[in-house]
Homo-oligomer: A and B are copies of this chain.
Amino acid sequence: MSTHTLEEILRPQSIAVVGASGDPSAGGRNFTTALLAQGYSGKIYLVNPKYSEIMGSKVYPSLKEVPGPIDYVISCVPASEVLNILESCSQKGVKAIHLYTAHFSETGRQEAAELEQRILKEARKRGIRLIGPNCVGLYYPQQRISFGDDLPKESGSVGLISQTGGGASNLIHLASLRGVRFSKAISYGNALDLNECDFLEYLSQDPETKIILMYIEGVKDGKRFFNILRQAASTKPVIIIKGGKGKSGARAVASHTASLAGSVKIWETVVTQAGAVSAKSLDEMADLAVSFYFLPPIQGPRVGVVGGGGGASVLAADQCEEAGLDVIPLPTEVREELRSKGIPTWDWVGNPADVSVWGWSGADLGVGDTLQILARNRNFDLLIIFMREPHHRNEQRISAETYLEQYNLKEINQKPLLAVLPDKSLGINDYDDWRWKLMSEVRTQLIAANIPFYPTIGRAAKAARKLIDYYQKRG
């Protein structure tokens, strides 16, 4: 547990959902079902004068009628009702309100912006902290607090701070399909009270969080942000997406969270000088999260690539080199070892090594053995392995265990290892093809073996290079 002041706010003993609803399309239902489905261990109070019961749970007509004390309120009521519930919150000893409620300054309308400011003033007067408005709030799997009933219940070491709620859910889904789990995620929308600096400071001190991801549209206090970011990045990797880099993005930011997008150049200087890592898209952020989550520090850029076909090996070399990796020629010792094992193409094979999953033709040496030889060689800083579905004519089904035995990846503990498995939505006819389900099982087993995987070698190489840069900067 952290000693940061936010700790108390983010670990409430009781939560009230004001504006709870049974209507599937209402936001109130989202938070109600998420808390119930995830099994939040504290007290849950549903509040809405329109209902007496939702999904078997009692509903209170107002906050005042809730019997016990309330630590944390999720507000799903319209903007015009927020000032009213603030007063009740004060009486119930509420420490923080998460305002899912939206349509404030992001509308660009003066009266909405003024209402937002009145809410801030009232909250400050009463000593209540605000998360939002216009956000999905908190996902804290250990406490079973969530903004989505389909988010993983298991905890991990990645903390996320995000100015987009949809993007936060999307990123959690993307990263968790690849094995990443989260300590907590905070979506904070318009940042009326608590803002990116508060949450970043908190996560940087949070012992449950080893890696920090941020999606930011605007920064309220540049100097404070830089100082906290530098401090955070010196202790753990901080990966940032800046939304609103261009003209049109800045316009979109204004109507999304009413943030000032600011200058791209200043932003990039801040991130670089603070030692943080930039990402351009949620996909790249997922790649980086997966990389920092599963890989040890990579000491240098010298990469060995195994298992692509001929053309795939050529493009792999180009893409690794473009990303800033060094695809070194196959070391002499490796070549000699292949020769001593009777590989007929020992003088011909290169790096990338074009060896199929079934091993070398004409020799009893598998792709796994080849990987071992490369892994033992001190000239490589990291290895990348291509993995593909079995050939379509391979009628005999094999298990994920048998598939993975070919590669023997669990034994590669001497070297950082990245796997490339093509990402591919199924065509209608593919649902009956056992090979795709096999590959899903292979993914699950790779996660269990702590091996990160990527949809293309280009994405793997870019992520690896950013990892190398981060650790080199930290020294």
A164 with B246: CB separation less than 8 A: no
A166 with B311: CB separation less than 8 A: yes
A437 with B428: CB separation less than 8 A: yes
- Tell me if A331 is interfacial: C-beta within 8 Å of chain B: no
A244 with B318: CB separation less than 8 A: yes
A347 with B108: CB separation less than 8 A: yes
- Tell me if A12 is interfacial: C-beta within 8 Å of chain B: no
Chain A positions 426-442 with a Cβ under 8 Å from a chain B Cβ: 426-428, 430-431, 436-437, 439-441
Centre residue among A257, A422, A425 by max chain B CB count within 10 A:
A425
- Tell me if A252 is interfacial: C-beta within 8 Å of chain B: yes
B431 with A348: CB separation less than 8 A: no
Contact of A253 among B166, B246, B314, B349 (CB under 8 A): B314
Tell whether A314 pairs with B252 under 8 Å between CB atoms, given A107-B348, A281-B456.
Answer: yes
Contact of A439 among B108, B109, B309, B425 (CB under 8 A): B425
Interface size on A, residues (CB 8 A): 88
A431 with B423: CB separation less than 8 A: no
B282 with A321: CB separation less than 8 A: no
A393 with B149: CB separation less than 8 A: yes
Contact of A437 among B106, B150, B252, B431 (CB under 8 A): B431
Contacts of A310 in B (CB 8 A): 164-166, 256-257
Contact of A315 among B281, B318, B455 (CB under 8 A): B281
Contacts of A321 in B (CB 8 A): 245-249
A348 with B249: CB separation less than 8 A: no
Residue-wise interface mask of A (210-225) relative to B, using a CB-CB cutoff of 8 A (1 in contact, 0 not): 0000010100000000
- In the bound assembly, the distance between CA atoms of A109 and B349 in angstroms comes to 12
- Minimal Cβ-Cβ distance residue in B for A313: B252
Contacts of A423 in B (CB 8 A): 423-425
Contacts of A316 in B (CB 8 A): 252
Contacts of A425 in B (CB 8 A): 177, 421-425, 436, 439-440, 443, 455
Residue-wise interface mask of A (309-339) relative to B, using a CB-CB cutoff of 8 A (1 in contact, 0 not): 1111111111111100011110000000000
A55 to chain B, nearest CB (A): 12
- In the bound assembly, the distance between CA atoms of A311 and B217 in angstroms comes to 9
Contacts of A351 in B (CB 8 A): 248
Contacts of A106 in B (CB 8 A): 348
- In the bound assembly, the distance between CA atoms of A249 and B308 in angstroms comes to 13
- In the bound assembly, the distance between CA atoms of A33 and B255 in angstroms comes to 59
Contact of A427 among B163, B177, B322 (CB under 8 A): B177
List 20 interface pairs A-B (beta carbons < 8 Å), by A numbering. A24-B393, A107-B347, A109-B347, A149-B393, A167-B312, A244-B317, A248-B318, A248-B321, A249-B317, A256-B311, A256-B354, A280-B458, A281-B456, A282-B315, A421-B425, A425-B436, A425-B439, A428-B440, A428-B444, A430-B440
Contacts from A to B (Cβ < 8 Å):
24-25, 33, 106-109, 149-150, 162-168, 170, 177, 215, 217, 241, 243-249, 251-253, 255-257, 280-283, 309-322, 326-329, 345, 347-352, 354, 358, 392-394, 421-428, 430-431, 436-437, 439-441, 443-444, 455-456, 458
